[in-house]
Structure formats: C-alpha cells, structure tokens
Structure 1
Amino acid sequence: MDGYLDGGFELSEFQQKKNALMSEKKTLEEKLSDFERKGNHWLELVRNWILQANQAQNFASSKKFEEMKTFLKTIGLNRHLRASALSVDFKTPFSFLAELP
C-alpha cells in the first residue's frame, strides 16, 4: 500500500499484488479452519486409548468376568483359554501395552 501511495507502483501492479496477497490469505484461513476441525482428532484417539488402558487395569484386578470378556472382545483378537490360562492377541495400539513389562 505504501509503495502505491508513494508512487512506486502503478495501480494495476498494486491491484495484482493485492489480489495475490488476498488469495494467499484466503488459502491460509481455509487451512487454519481445516486444522481446527480435524487437528485435534488424534488427541481424542489418544485420550480414549488411555481411558481404555485404565479400564483394562481395573478389570485385571477385579472379578467381573463377564465385563472382562466384553472388554477383551473390543481390544483383542484370537482369545484362547488353555490350561486355565488366557491368551489374547491384542489389537493395535493395545498390543504395545501388552509388550510392556
């Protein structure tokens, strides 16, 4: 704007630069809006995972076997009971927790 007012730009040059900047501003505003809508999705997934992991720990120390069974169906695959020992292949990301000491 100062360049135009000082006489450094012609009106057509000023309008071209202004249009380019306005277009860039609109693009950045759209990207910001998309991020605000979608950007926190991963945070919600991590939050749910932590809550479910805490729930798993609570089930492990309880005697609510029917609730344990239902919960294991949501986080695990290929459940087997052999020689009074339960074996479960956990879905991702719960498989990560199962590998921890």
Structure 2
Amino acid sequence: FARPREEVLGGQEVIDEIEYHEAFFMVHPGAVYLNRGKEYLVSHLDLHHLVARVQPAKVPYYTRTRDHTDVDVLTTNQQDDSIDGIEVSTYRGRLQVCLKVWGYRKFWRS
C-alpha cells in the first residue's frame, strides 16, 4: 500500500514531494512554502492529480494554517495492571479523529 504523495511544482519542475495529508497544511493556495531555503507562494492545489503549483516569491510574511481537531471515543476496554507495584488502569479502544483546516494566518516578519 503506497500512500499518495503530492508533487510540488515550480513551473514544470518538481521541487519537492510531500505526504498527501500534509498538503492541507503546507501547500494550500496562498501558503508560503519553504524549500531548501527558498520561498514559494502556492497558487494552486490539485488534490485529484496530486499536484501543487508554486512560484518563487519574496514576501514579508509566512503562513500557518488555522485548524481544529475533534477526537471522539468510540469504544474503550479497561485493563487493570501493576507497574513497579503501583496499581494503574489503562484503556484501549477505538477513536474517531476529525481534523479540519479552515483557513490560514499571515505572520508579518519584523
């Protein structure tokens, strides 16, 4: 099973490859993408074709995503145990994690 990877294109040249799930944080449209000490401005993200398009840029800011994570416990199993003579309860179970990226912020450099 191969995980999908996004190609980051500067013009027609592939300048980087990143994990699919990282694309939402790193190469969303409007993001400042840093690669090998060079800044790029992301103009387009195509999740269907696994490509992000960037252009070299010198901007006075950097970007960070605004996101929210929800964690719901679906099932739990308790197990009582002893660690170094101390009684402890541990839990295992299934979770549902939902991460939503809903925007980004610009941070101006001084």
More helix by share: 1
Higher RCO structure, 1 or 2 (CA under 8 Å, sep 6+): 2
TM-score (normalised: structure 1):
0.15
TM-score (normalised: structure 2):
0.14
More strand by share: 2
